[in-house]
Amino acid sequence: MRETRMLNPHARFASFVVGSSNRLAATAAKAVAEAPGAAYNPLFIYATPGLGKTHLLMAIGHGAQEIDASRTVEYVTVDDFVEAYHAALAAGQAETYRRRFTDADLVLLDDAQLLTGRRELQSELLRLIDLLTAADRQIVLAGDRPPEEIQSLDERLIRRFAGGLVIDIGAPDYETRLAILARRAEERHVTFSAEVLATVAETPIGTVRELVGALNRLVAQQAVQSDPITAAEARQLLGALGHAPVADPAATKEGSGAGFDYEAPHQDEFSDFLTDLSSTVGQQVDRWRRRVTEVSLRHAAAGFRTARLDALLATDIAADPEDTVSRFEADVAVLRILHAELAEVAPTLLREAALHDPDRLAEAEALVAEAREAGEPLSGPMPGMTLEAFAVGPSTRSVVEAVRVAAESPGQGYNPLVIVGEGGTGKTHLLHAFGHALAARGLRRIAVLDAAQFVDGLVSSISDGTVDRWRHRLRRVDALLVDDVHGLAGKERSQEELYLVYNLLLESGRQLAFSSLVKPGLLVGFEPRLATRLSGGLVVELGAPDRAAKLREVARLIGEGADDVDLVEYLASRTASSIRELQQTVQRVIVAAAARDVPLSLATVRSIIEGDIAERPPRRGSGLLAPASGAIRSREKMVETWPDIAERMIEEWR
């Protein structure tokens, strides 16, 4: 099966010369590259062959990957697509081939005019466009004619194209041709005089491809002659290539009187005055109209509505419209500021229509203010729960090391990180410690919440009708750490929301971490697609605390008293199935010692834990003795060892 074509490394925005004939197309292309799926989807660029539409198509792919290298870009011509699709059908891999494009972030389809008469291909393309746009993935097409002029093109495709942006590239004007020639000459490390380049630029060449071909001919000629090419020689070479020769300006001036003689009709002074006035007014109006049109096209290409300027163009412009244009541009500038803020607070709201319409500026400001209020950061890691404060021992050292390594390359190494352990083994502490370590690496928005907080937040947002805001808060974090994720078992909606935010954060290279009582594969009441994703990261398991970990934790908790080795040994030797249980024991004796107003010592701790034996009331014996013979005798039946009156049982004395 033929692979999709690679992008030409030279076809980039930096090497694309922008002029009046292609400015709108170039602006739209850059907008698509910067935010695939957000601005114009689909984008259809058409132009006659040789005007740069393929260059622009590939530049979009390069531009998108320069911004985010993880983006997948597929460039293919219609012919290549058909050939590869038929090969996939024959091999029984049609669905695999389809996924190649439906899973791409950006699909670039060239030579769209070849869709003519290909019903099966048109159906595939319609399906592809619908899938890509629904998933906010971008598709860009290029052809040599507008969609409505492609014969036998499905009306549904025409409507899909019209729903995005259809834009053309015109023939380059003189200034653009001159700029193209100058840049190409510089790239070839060849120097021509300004007159030679001007001569070529003045030649009525309709396509960039032919223009570059003419330049190549000059380059070849200059390489074989010792003297630089002159303008006259350039005209001669262009004529030999079949281009209409450009008249020598000097010859034109000298022979200007040799043409046919035309005498303008005589006009009186009043007619001359009206002609001059009409010409002046016409030029002024044209200048104003060009100014309004330029501003309208520029901002429309950036995705802003231009109804205010369009309404102005629909009328006869009798006065200088600069005030209207200035106010419009000022409103757009405010919208751009709002865009930048919203991109940080709630990026998914950037598609709201009000944010792209200067006539709805007040509505846009209210929307951003609302998002700003809802965008307060979620709770972060708890103070004190750091790696330095964690009791490290042989049974936990590997887990702590994994946390350290994961924090060194957030979102790249171990993602997600899943810490498994029984209650009280320290998994919550380690999760918060991971948050602190991420903050030390420069991450600013770190959210640490447990499953109960996740569910409560979702339920509350559903009740208030603010689910989108709740999602925005989660989706804008640099790292999301969820404690006791097993608590989401059986909660389908919560798992669905976690699944969505998980995919978004993972795809954008942001860190995820979880703690759980059991390994992800053993979670009961969990969606398999979520459980498998948790299993796909690094799963580390905490065991019961060992002696070394207990000693370190006791020493940390009692502080100054840690110098008393016997005291530390005694407390660490107490039976405790978890670090949490040990912490509770130590905290209890510290509080009890403070209440008695006595120093924390081994004797004090023994007294608190074991109690004062002397103060205990005597325990009542059973009254039974075990003689050497092995038979059991009752002391109450032995007069020589008459018991305490309290222990006598008269009923047994018989």
CATH H-level superfamily of 13-168: P-loop containing nucleotide triphosphate hydrolases (3.40.50.300)
- The two tokens of residue 227 are 């003297």
**Pair 383, 442: CB distance under 8 Å:** no
- Residues forming a β-bridge with 74: 107
**Pair 105, 36: CB distance under 8 Å:** yes
- Residues forming a β-bridge with 46: 143, 168
Q: Give 295-362 as a DSSP string.
A: HHHHHHHTT---HHHHHHHTS---S-THHHHHHHHHHHHHHHHHHHHHHHH-GGGGG-GGGG-GGGHH
Reported as a single tens digit per residue, the pLDDT across 422-440 is 877 788 999 999 999 999 9
Beta strand ranges found along 111-245 (DSSP E) = 138-143, 165-168
**Domain 174-251 indexed as CATH 2.70.70.10:** no
CA–CA separation, 7 and 4 (whole Å):
9
Q: How far is C-alpha 186 from the chain's CA centre?
A: 37
CA–CA separation, 195 and 201 (whole Å):
10
**Pair 472, 346: CB distance under 8 Å:** yes
CA–CA separation, 89 and 79 (whole Å):
15
Q: What is the mean pLDDT of each run of 10 residues along the chain (654 residues)?
A: 62 88 88 87 91 93 92 92 86 88 94 90 92 92 92 90 88 84 85 87 82 84 82 82 56 41 43 44 57 78 84 72 88 89 74 87 84 67 86 78 90 88 84 93 90 90 81 87 93 92 90 92 89 87 73 75 75 70 78 81 80 50 51 49 49 44
CA–CA separation, 100 and 85 (whole Å):
11
**Domain 397-541 indexed as CATH 3.40.50.300:** yes
Burial class for 433, CB neighbours closer than 10 Å (0-12, 13-18, 19+)? buried
Reported as a single tens digit per residue, the pLDDT across 230-288 is 888 888 888 777 666 555 544 444 444 433 343 444 444 444 444 444 444 445 445 67
Q: How far is C-alpha 287 from the chain's CA centre?
A: 43
Per-residue b or e along 374-411, where b marks 16 or more CB atoms closer than 10 Å to that residue's CB: bbeebebbeeebbbeebbbbebbeebbebbeebbeebb
Q: How far is C-alpha 191 from the chain's CA centre?
A: 45
Burial class for 273, CB neighbours closer than 10 Å (0-12, 13-18, 19+)? exposed
